[in-house]
Structure formats: structure tokens, C-alpha cells
Amino acid sequence: MAHTCIHWFRKGLRLHDNPALMAALRDCKELYPVFILDPYIYNNTLVGINRWRFLIGCLKDLDCSLRKLNSRLFVVRGKPEEVFPKLFEKWKVTKLTYEYDTEPYSLSRDKTVTTLAKEHGVEVVYKISHTIHDMDRIIEENNGKAPLTYNRFRTILKTIGNPKKPIPAPAIEDTKDVKTPCSENHDKNDGIPTLEDLGHDTTTLGEEKFPGGEQEALRRLDENMARKDWVCKFEKPQTSPNSLSPSTTVLSPYVTFGCLSARTFWWRVTEVYQGKKHSEPPVSLHGQLLWREFYYAAGVGIPNFDKMEGNPVCTQVDWDTNHEYLAAWREARTGLPFIDAIMTQLRQEGWIHHLARHAVACFLTRGDLWINWEEGQKVFEYLLLHGDWALNAGNWQWLSASAFFHQYFRVYSPVAFGKKTDKNGDYIKKYLPLLKKFPAQYIYEPWKAPRSVQQAAGCIVGKDYPQPIVQHEVISKKNIQRMKLAYAKRSAESAESPNQSPSKKQGVKRKAKSVIDMLQKKDKK
């Protein structure tokens, strides 16, 4: 039977390694590629302008690729459970395909849509391709629980074996008998919206350093894989958080939106490694992809993974509520130039280096401001190009020493950490030009500069640039004691009810490698 099929693009905004799309093309007479602007995911209170711009770039690129296959992308606004019944009837659909998504909202949404599809006599086919491995299989192999350490996670993967090889993108031969009926008003009725259509003021929008889309993703992948020696020697903790141009691949936004298949990325790195000495997980490029998988598995297997309360692996901490501190951190006016420069780059570009995220996350939570990691998680989700739910939640718990990482006494210094890779403060000068005339000895601590130096620099601290909102040397010691109490309370509760949450011993297993020392830089202050 020849089907009339909708392929539902959500993530997986690509043609290469898209098994669900290939399933749609099988025995298909009419194909309707659909992307739904679901208000639960895509609204202006949750998604910042840089991420919107990246998404629009992805959709434009996807539509361009589909045109080459004599098809088009239909962009529809509304709740999927309201949109699909109308489309099923309008197009007389018999088959719906999509890429499997493990996020809690996605699972709930897909269950609802699948029920609606069956009520309309529509066959539903989904395929796993957003992650390298099947998360449910990983949890099953670990006795029904998410692995809580990276080493345990890798042990489970050894029993599963190598990832599947990616499949090629559909060619014109695959679509020669397939039609996509379009109206003359397609661009007006079902086309891709502009930022202005979505209610954004673009007058202050900066340069787009990381354009969205599959073609750009593959170009960047090729560019990075051509640096064979760099790929083989890559160790994430040895890259610089404050280099003026990215010291990593910046492929994470493309993997998050599915412009680049994680399996394609994995196997391209494997090809480069072939027959050569190379770095190993957790610090290698393969290691970075496995961290992604680790947090995805945690997101599937741990209830309330993006919250402190009701999350069985998360230490319950008596975080402060301080709206002024939170706003100062979010708006890059803490008075600590390294922190403010990072938050400025994040707002302007939608990307910051992984270790820069470490610095600002530690500062917001256990290091200095003692604010709940959930608040930082919201800010990152809004500002990052790739606000990936599982990675965002997992990394915030790690960096706040709430889960996975437990050496809470290791604190990033907002001064010393940046100096290690940028003594002159060139990164600060780039993102905080107000401070660019300060001499190197004061660029990280401008409040220590004599008044005459401040006047010569054209920036008076306390007037033109804020005084530090905290004294790191004092507050970090106090916060270490507060964290010690939270851990003691958790240990007592675990002793009373050992089956209620994972034991602390489980969380410390990562000591096997010296990665902690590489990732976490102890405060030298």
C-alpha cells in the first residue's frame, strides 16, 4: 500500500542519518515534512533571540535541502495534539514518522499524538537517532537504573558494543515517485517565520557566529576532522575557556538541534583515530559525546532530573533566594570581570566554552552567590544556542556539587582561573571594552587599582563599573562550610533510609582517573 505520510521534524533537523525520514519514504506516494512551533517549547519567555535565529537557520537549510528532493518543509504553529488531527484529515494521512526523543515532555507529547494517530487510522513509526545509543537499553543493562558514574556508564556500553553506523541522506532516486503537494501560497501559509514575525527586535542583534543548519554543521565537521593531529590530541580540560576564538569544535548546538547526527560525528572521529595514538574518554572527543549520552541516560532514569526537590540523586541544599544577586549574575554586573565577560559573551553569541560555564555556574551556586542551580539552568536554557535539557540539568547538578561530582571544597576562583590561560585579560577587554585600558595587573581586579589608574583607564569602579558584589576569599570559605552541612545531613538521611537514594560511595567512583584535577581548578586565593 502506498502511504500518504507526515515526517515530523522536531530535533533531527537534517537529511543525513535520519532513519525515521527514510521510513517515511518507504512505500510513500505523498510526503509532508512538518515542523511544529509548539508553544510549550518555542516561546519568547523560554527561548532567547540567538536560539530563535539558530532554529530559523536550521529550518531554512532543511527546506532548501528538501527542495532539491522536490519537496518542501511545512512550518505549522500550535499544540501538536491540536495540529495533527487537522492535518490527518486535511491530507488524508496514513503514516506518521518521527525521531524518538527521551525528554519527559516529549515522551508525554508523543504518547498523546500516537493515541490520536491511531484514532485516525494512522500508522506511527519512530526511530532512535538523536543519541548514539538506545537509552532504555542502557538502563535495562544497568538493572533498571541510570548509571550514576561515568565509569559505570562506560562499563555498560562495553556490553552493548559499538554504535550503529550512520545511514546516508535520501537521494533523488529515493523520492522520484514521491510528491509533496504545495499551494501557491506555501511561503505565506506554511513557510518559515522571520524573527520579526516572532515578535523580536533585531536592531541590536550582533553578528551570527554560528549559523544554524545541516550544511553548516557538516562543513564545520569536515573542517574539524581535517585537523587530524588536533583531533587525536584533543583533551577538553586542556582547552582554553577564554580564548578569543573557540578552542573546541562548537558542534554542540548542531548536535542538539540534530543538524549533525551524533553517530556521524562519532564515526568520523573513529576514522581519524584509525591506526593513530589518540586521547581517551572522558577527555577526548569521543569522551565528550559519551558525556552527552551519560546525561541523557540520567535524564531518562532519574525522576525530576531538572529539579532539586524530588530528585533522588540530588543533594538537598538550603540555597538562598537573592533576586539582586541573580540579576547581577545574569546581566553581567557582578563586578568581577572574568564572570561578567563570560556572561556577556553568552548573551551576545549564545555560546561560551565548557570551562567558562564551569566558572560562572560555580560562582552562582556553591562558590559565591549560593543561589539554586535551577535558576542558572533557566538562564542557560534561555541564552545558550543549545539549551539541551538533559545536559543542562546534569551539568548544573555537577557544577553545584549537588550530584555526580562531590568534591565541593574545590572552588573556581573568579580571578585566578581566568588568569591561567589569559594573563593579559584580552578576553575581558573584548567583551567588557569599558575595562580595556586597565593594565594587566588590575584587569581581573579593577577595584584594587589606584584611583589614578582608574581615571587613566576612563573607568571608575563603583561608578562606571560595579564594585564586586561579594568578597570571594571570604564567602567561598563560608559556603564550603554550608555545603559540608548539606552533605552531613544527606549522609544522615541515607543511613536512616539507605534504599531511598543512591549511596554517596556511588557518586565518588569517578576518582579512578585524575580528570577531576583537570576539570576542577582549586581556588588559589
What grid cell was written down for 297?
541516560
463 Cβ neighbours under 8 A, 6+ residues apart: none
What DSSP assignment string belongs to 492-513?
HHHHH-TTSS--HHHHHGGGGS
Architecture in CATH of 323-457:
Orthogonal Bundle (1.10)
Measured distance between the N- and C-terminal CA atoms of the chain, rounded to whole angstroms? 71
Can you tell me the distance from the alpha carbon of 32 to that of 34, in angstroms, rounded to the nearest whole number?
A: 6
Buried b (16+ CB within 10 A) or exposed e, 191-208: bbeeeeebeeeeeeeeee
3-state secondary structure of 36: strand
Is the bond leading into 282 cis (omega within 30 degrees of zero)?
A: yes
Other beta carbons within 10 angstroms of residue 241's beta carbon come to 25
What grid cell was written down for 254?
548542531
For residues 230 and 408, the answer to whether their CB atoms sit within 8 Å is: no
Say whether 216 counts as a known binding-site residue. no
Say whether 234 counts as a known binding-site residue. no
- Report the sign of the C-alpha dihedral through residues 292, 521, 339, 235, in that order: negative
Instruction: Give residue 244's pLDDT.
Output: 87
Phi and psi for 165 in degrees, rounded to 5? -75, 145
Q: From first to last of its 525 residues, what are the pLDDT tens digits of the chain?
A: 799 999 999 999 999 999 999 999 999 999 999 999 999 999 998 999 999 999 999 999 999 999 999 999 999 999 999 999 999 999 999 999 999 999 999 999 999 999 999 999 999 999 999 999 999 999 999 999 999 999 999 999 999 999 999 999 999 999 999 999 999 999 999 999 999 999 999 998 999 999 999 999 999 999 999 999 999 999 999 999 999 889 899 999 999 999 999 999 999 999 999 999 999 999 999 999 999 999 999 999 999 999 999 999 999 999 999 999 999 999 999 999 999 999 999 999 999 999 999 999 999 999 999 999 999 999 999 999 988 999 999 999 999 999 999 999 999 999 999 999 999 999 999 999 999 999 999 999 999 999 999 999 999 999 999 999 999 999 999 999 999 999 999 988 887 766 543 433 333 333 333 333 433 333 333
All CATH 3.40.50.620 domain ranges of the chain, comma separated, are 1-130
Which residue in 296, 299, 302 sits closest to 145, CA to CA? 302
Say whether 454 counts as a known binding-site residue. no
- The CATH class, in words, for 1-130 is alpha beta
HSE toward the beta carbon, residue 191, CA cutoff 13 A: 12
- CA 168 to centroid of chain Cα atoms: 25
Architecture in CATH of 131-172+215-301:
Alpha Horseshoe (1.25)
Say whether 292 counts as a known binding-site residue. yes
Say whether 365 counts as a known binding-site residue. no
What DSSP assignment string belongs to 389-441?
HHHHHHHHHHHTTSSS---TT----TTHHHHTT-TT-HHHHHH-GGGTTS-HH
Can you tell me the distance from the alpha carbon of 226 to that of 436, in angstroms, rounded to the nearest whole number?
A: 36
Q: Over the Cα atoms of the chain, what is R_g?
A: 24
Instruction: Give residue 204's pLDDT.
Output: 87
Instruction: Give residue 294's pLDDT.
Output: 98
237 Cβ neighbours under 8 A, 6+ residues apart: 283, 355, 515, 518, 519
What grid cell was written down for 18?
535520519
Other beta carbons within 10 angstroms of residue 286's beta carbon come to 19
Which residue in 260, 177, 174 sits closest to 222, CA to CA? 260
All CATH 1.10.579.10 domain ranges of the chain, comma separated, are 323-457
Which residue in 412, 402, 410 sits closest to 504, CA to CA? 402
Say whether 204 counts as a known binding-site residue. no
Can you tell me the distance from the alpha carbon of 335 to that of 115, in angstroms, rounded to the nearest whole number?
A: 53
Say whether 249 counts as a known binding-site residue. yes
Say whether 252 counts as a known binding-site residue. yes
Which residue in 398, 387, 427, 375 sits closest to 243, CA to CA? 427
Say whether 294 counts as a known binding-site residue. yes
Say whether 248 counts as a known binding-site residue. yes
| Burial of 85 from C-beta contacts in 10 A (0-12 / 13-18 / 19+) | middle
3-state secondary structure of 293: helix
Q: Which single residue is written with the C-alpha cell 565541593? A: 408
Say whether 289 counts as a known binding-site residue. yes
All CATH 1.25.40.80 domain ranges of the chain, comma separated, are 131-172+215-301
For residues 123 and 94, the answer to whether their CB atoms sit within 8 Å is: yes
Would residue 70 be called left, alpha or beta, if left means φ above 0 and alpha means ψ between -120 and 50 degrees?
left
130 Cβ neighbours under 8 A, 6+ residues apart: 11, 12, 99, 100, 101, 102, 258, 262
For residues 502 and 313, the answer to whether their CB atoms sit within 8 Å is: yes
